[in-house]
Structure 1
Amino acid sequence: MDQWEEARQKEHEQIEEAVTKNGGNRPAPTVPQHWVRLRIATGTSGGGICALLLARALHYRFKPASAKAGHETWAANPFYSVWVDDIDISHFLENTDLVAQAGGSPPAVAALLNGKILEAIAEKGLKYCPAEDQAPLPCRRYVFNPLPIVVTYTHLTGVPYKVVFRGEAGRSEYFINHADYIRFYADYVGAPTFDPRAAAPDGKHIGRPPLPWTNFAQYALGTSAFPVGLPARIVQRDADNYKYRFVYDPASASYEWLTPDWANFCSLEPGTPPYQFAAVDGGCTDNEPIFLARQVLDGIGGEPAKLTSTETNRAVILVDPFADAPKTSIPADSMTLTSLLAPTLAMFVQSNRFATADLVQFLHPEVYNRLLVTPRRSNPAPGGAAPAFLTGGDALCGAGLGGFLGFMSAEFRHHDFMLGRRNCQAFLAWSLTLDKRNPVFAGPRPAIGVLPPGVTIPEGECPVIPLYGTAANIEPEPAWPNKGSFDAKSLEPALEARAKEMLHRVPGFLKFNEIEELGFAAVRGLLAGKISKKVIEKIESEMKGKALL
């Protein structure tokens, strides 16, 4: 978008100069003149982190982390820095979260992995401020101002709602909503001063840099707190935000307010400390907050976006790295307790996600107002193995272990990041298209570039966002990491040390007596070693499944 804007501005200046110097008729522009605007960014878990990072990074100009750039440029990119350089399993296996402070007792176990590194990463990312030669832009006109940023959470205690039922006992029924979200409004240079009337009343205003974004790490940490694996987080917000919750009532064809049961929830009395709640990964209850995006695009009670290529003027773009087909059955020989734990957890998560999905869109499978960006690459298996292309999680190194396999190796993460750039470029060039007769276009239509074998664009359509400058340089498909590029056994000492430190808490938890504690101490090291080897076996199994071992 920056490159397109620069090309348009440069051509405008050239035309003005030519008219001023030579007079005569004004030449027609060759750069497309229509406008595309970023209206909202919303996400959960890693997507929530990206939305918050985007809100910060849009204040600045930073160099793209293209495949041809060196590591110095990559490291200066706020997204590459967070997702490739900073997140690594070595930090998650440190025991700094389990070591007692001077004179204190050992802290309780908060999660299987150490989450302290995430606090440092979040603070660094949300205070991003590049060097002086990459100063803030005067204005990014394609960014709506103020830009809504909506991040979802799984609220562990939930928001209670009371429904009165008639009966002798006179009791009410309570329903708890655990799918929560927080709305922010990012204010950008070059636009009028922030006007609260342009924002929903439950929104939190984010000031323009260099104002510090204090206490913002909690919002990134809360949406990405993978249950059990990473520590749950305390998130703070204004309790008044929950007054702005509503639902559409088809019986009255109107919106009705949803009022929490304040007596069993929190106090709204003046002087009451800010409301806090325990949060885990928002993906447990609302993994794809499409509805929240549509609410902004269409307006409350507004007309939904048109569906066709010739009419639609707005769309939700969903970026989903793990857009994989679901498993359809559980084998009869996998009915043991340990075998059912993972499917049972997945069942609860998927059920919650279905309840928050944009269900009405299921009725219209062929539309132009929602689009999907998901990984795609050639099959790296030798000998032309089928299928020719891998998609979704199959195309990513880091998709194994529930998305944690990428933490094992910077090489895995680099591949996935660069594949994401290639796939996003391809999406803009070949997938984000509309009919040339659509009224959104003005002036010359974007040109269709050279299409690779097997790729077609529907007749009469053209890209919505043209690629100019560095954005037009074709991103190559990254090489699949060599087998054995990461040695899982190198983690054995750290895994064993962490397991041993966690097992050290078992006697106190189970109230062992002195003899029992001595007996457990004798086998603690053995158990830690067994656990370490089991984890390594699982990592190696996932790597073999992806031809990484």
Structure 2
Amino acid sequence: MSEQKTFHLGFTMAGAVSGGCYTAGVMDYIFEVLDKWEKAKKGELETVNSEEVPKHNVVIEVMGGTSAGGMATIMTALYGLRNTINPVTDEHVNNARGIKNNILYDSWVSMLDDNKLKTLDIALSTNDLKGGKVSSLLNSQFIDQLANRAISMPSVVTDSSRPNYLAPDLEMIISHTMNRGVPLKVKFPNNTNDAGLQDAPYHTSFEHFMVSHFKLPDGSFQDNKEYFTLDIDTQNTINRLKKTAKATGAFPIGLQYREFNNQDFSAAYLKNAVTRIISRKFGESNPQIENSDIDWDQKTLNQYHTTSVDGGAINNEPYGEVLEILRHRTKDNVNEDFVWSKEENSDDPVSRHEYQKAGVVMIDPFPDTISPDDEYEHPENLVDVGSSIIGTLWDQSKIKRKEMVEQFSNKAYMGTIFPVKHKVENNKSLGSYKYPLCSASLGAFGGFLDIKFRHHDFYLGRNNARNFLRAFLSVPYEKGKKVHPIHRGWTKKMIDRFLITIDNKTYLPIIPDINMILDDEVSNSEIYKYSVPKFPKLTMNDISNAYYKQIKGRIKAVLQILRLGISGGNAVLRFVLLLAPVRYFSRKMAKKILSIIENDLESKGFLEGSKNKLNK
């Protein structure tokens, strides 16, 4: 029965570019609540009577992420493992700038902004081009600086005791897209065993998806062979986490690719990781495929070197991988996966139901949806076909086959936190906004334009997480009929405080929000309360004055380097290209970029004077 007092969770954080500030806000609120709940159960919150506090347990078993979500996952793990929970609450809402001693806010909102420079100033600077090489459209040194600051050994001794809501053998997976794939060979031997066909070629495919799979050390695995250790008190782990964060966030072309070799991924680790990927055995440290002996290309494994471009190019939401780890961790010989089986012959009606014991929560700042207005347009010519191929290949590489097939047979809890903001009058909704995130502008790069955008999105993440905990991270409750094991023993006072009613059906939360006790609220008290109620707006004068010269300067520097590279050793071609009006093109392109920024911000409602649209 004690096991039935524990609910097991996994978190997945999707890729989001600058929208990682929203994910950071979500996780900041969730960890604030988990931290307060743990303290309340111990009687350490003076204003909370421990008799009002639910006593069941919630344990985070695994976290996974990609790109910006992967970076946020690493920072969240450090936030929790170091037990340095310092939430950025509404008392800071009118002060966006400055370091808050909160790894999530400082990394995703404050970034590198100070009184003289903004983070985008660094991203547009040209000091990364002095060697005559272009690695990315933006100067990615700001990513290096942020990672080095956030992911480091603590300068002061912190509370090393890990909170009870983190599993003692916590796992973390971060997605990568590798330019060099690991060969997977299939042979067609036929039945004749003809000696002349013994050297017939293999059919070879290549696995370009890779994960950095971390686990808290429990003495059962070898570092860089089965997993990477998540012992954050060692410099080796810190260095690996830095590189992992930079690599998963290396947005293709826009941000710098990262290099890996056998020092990063040993041959043994590559075998284990690829086997997990192709067999979906993410919960096993040394996975085996039944009746199969993979013919590994030893040269590739033992001399592996590659570049990594982002994680989202192949798998932007690794919830299936997180779910497989959770399945393995909670599986037993009595119950079906993810549930405690019902006792069909019991006289107690409460026992005659299945109850979930595990689930996954995904944080997705930009969910992929199908618009009813989308219509397929046939290409008119070869150029149209060519331009559509990249999108086709990208969509195909990210398809979730197993997850799609199992979605209705999978009994795990599954929920998603995504941006929602309502237009509110007299505490009633007049509709939800079409673009609730400022960072949704400019193809998700909009958050880099101004700290006010990131500040708004961080707090919206906190507000959406609050509503999710108080309503949707819940299980059905019917007194005397359907009571989840974690809620048995709850007092009437607890039930009255936390009860959720949606469409005349009642539920109780998996994670009780202790802020409801502290603020004397019930579940629907703050549905339409937003810490930053108004959307921040920018003016084109401010944007032009801040960035026009830097945009023009970076374009000019990039064009000059590319011009020399294209000419190669051909003196005639070099002479011709030297006549190309680089200054003219850099001015034209900079003005075009500013025009794109203006049109996009205006269409989404983030330009001064523009309106924020509501969903139809």
Give the TM-score of the pair, scaled to structure 2: 0.74
Residues 85-94 or 226-235, more deviating? 85-94
Aligned partners of 1:131, 1:265: CA distance in 2, in Å? 43
- Show the 5 A alignment for 1:62-141: 62-69=85-92, 70=95, 75-86=100-111, 88-100=119-131, 106=132, 108-127=133-152, 129=154, 135-136=158-159, 138-141=161-164
Which of 504, 523, 543 aligns to 2:560? It is 504
Report the Cα offset of residue 248 of structure 1: 5.1
| 1:219-261 deviation digits (Å, cap 9, x = unpaired) | 0011111111111111322221122215559xxx974667363
Name the structure 1 match of 2:9. none
Aligned to 1:292: 321
Aligned position for 1:404: 445
What is the alpha-carbon distance in structure 2 between the residues aligned to residue 28 and residue 510 of structure 1? 71
Looking at structure 2, the residues matched to 142 and 50 of structure 1 have their Cα atoms a distance apart, in angstroms, of 18
Matching residue of 2:403: 358
Note the C-alpha offset of 1:441. 2.9
Shift in Å, 1:50: 1.2
Structure 1 pair 38/346, CA: closer, same or farther in 2 (3 Å)?
Answer: same
SS in structure 2 opposite 1:40?
strand
Distance 2:386 2:91 in 1: 44
Question: 8 Å contact 2:357–2:412 — kept in the other structure?
Answer: no
Work out whether 1:239 is the aligned partner of 2:270. Answer: no
Superposed CA offset, 1:13-40 (max 9, x none): 999xxxxxxxxxxx99331111110010
Quote the residue 2:538 is aligned against.
484
In the alignment, is residue 440 of structure 1 matched against residue 521 of structure 2?
no
1:37 is aligned to 2:59 = yes
- What is the percent sequence identity of the aligned residues? 21
**In structure 2, what residue type is equivalent to 1:304?**
D
* Gap change, CA 1:482 and 1:173, over 3 Å in 2: same
Judge conservation of contact 1:243–1:258 (CA < 8 Å) in 2: no
Alignment correspondent of 1:143: 166
* SS of the residue 1:145 aligns to: strand
1:525 corresponding residue in structure 2:
583
Question: 1:43-84 CA distances to partner (integer Å, 9 max, x unpaired)?
Answer: 111111111112212113231011322558863110111111
Q: How far apart, in 2, do the equivalents of 1:224 and 1:483 lie? A: 27
The one-letter amino acid paired with 1:39 is E
State the Cα deviation string for residues 497-544 of structure 1 (Å, max 9, x = none).
Answer: 011101112332222535753664451100111111111111112101
Cα drift, residue 477 of structure 1: 4.1
Deviation at 1:140, TM superposition (A): 0.5
Task: Tell me the matched-pair count.
Answer: 509
Give 3-state SS (helix, strand or coil) of 2:259's partner.
strand
Per-residue deviation, residues 453-483 of structure 1 (Å, max 9, x unmatched): xx82762311111111499666634234343
Query: Residue 107 of structure 2: SS of its match in structure 1?
Result: helix
Within a 5 Å distance, the mapping from 1:442-461 to structure 2 comes to 442-444=488-490, 446-447=494-495, 456=502, 459-461=505-507
Task: Output the amino acid matched with 2:433.
Answer: L
Alignment of 1:247-396 (within 5 A): 247=278, 255=290, 259=294, 261-267=296-302, 275-299=304-328, 303-306=336-339, 310-326=354-370, 329=374, 332=377, 335=380, 343-355=388-400, 358-363=403-408, 369-379=413-423, 388-390=431-433, 394-396=435-437
Amino acid at match of 2:270: Y
Partner of 2:241: 216
Q: For the residues of structure 2 that align with 1:184 and 1:39, how far apart are their CA atoms?
A: 12
Q: Name structure 1 gaps, 5 residues minimum.
A: 16-26, 101-105, 188-193
CA distance in 1, matches of 2:385, 2:450: 30
Deviates more, 1:62-71 or 1:422-431: 62-71
Q: For 1:216 and 1:207, how far apart are their aligned partners in 2?
A: 11
Equivalent-residue separation in structure 1 for 2:496 and 2:156 (angstroms): 36
Aligned residue identity for 2:601:
M
- Is this contact kept in 2: 1:316–1:370, CA < 8 A? yes
Distance 2:386 2:438 in 1: 25
Question: Secondary structure in 2 aligned to 1:216?
Answer: helix
Cα deviation, residue 378, structure 1: 1.3
Deviations 1:337-395 (A, max 9, x none): 77666643332222111156622334459x66111110100149x9x9x971136xx21
Letter in 1 for 2:248: T
Query: CA 1:28/1:76 → structure 2, altered by over 3 Å: closer, same or farther?
Result: closer
Matched AA of 1:529? R
Q: Is the 8 A contact 2:177 2:314 kept in 1?
A: yes
Task: Provide the rounded CA distance (Å) in 2 between the counterparts of 1:326 and 1:343.
Answer: 17
RMSD: 3.7
Matched, 1:547 2:611: no
Alignment check: 8 A CA contact 1:159 1:260 kept:
no
Rate the CA distance shift 1:334–1:262 in 2: closer, same or farther, 3 A: closer
- Bigger shift: residues 324-333 or 436-445: 324-333
How far, CA to CA, are the matches of 2:359 and 2:174 in structure 1?
19
Contact 1:411 1:481 in 2 (8 A): no
**TM-superposition CA deviations, 1:63-118 (whole Å, max 9, x none):** 10113225588631101111111163222111111013xxxxx2x21111111111
SS at match of 1:370: strand
1:415 paired residue number: 456
Alpha-carbon distance in 2 for matches of 1:307, 1:350: 37
**Which residue of 1 is the match for residue 28 of structure 2?**
none
Q: Distance in 2 between matches of 1:294 and 1:397?
A: 31
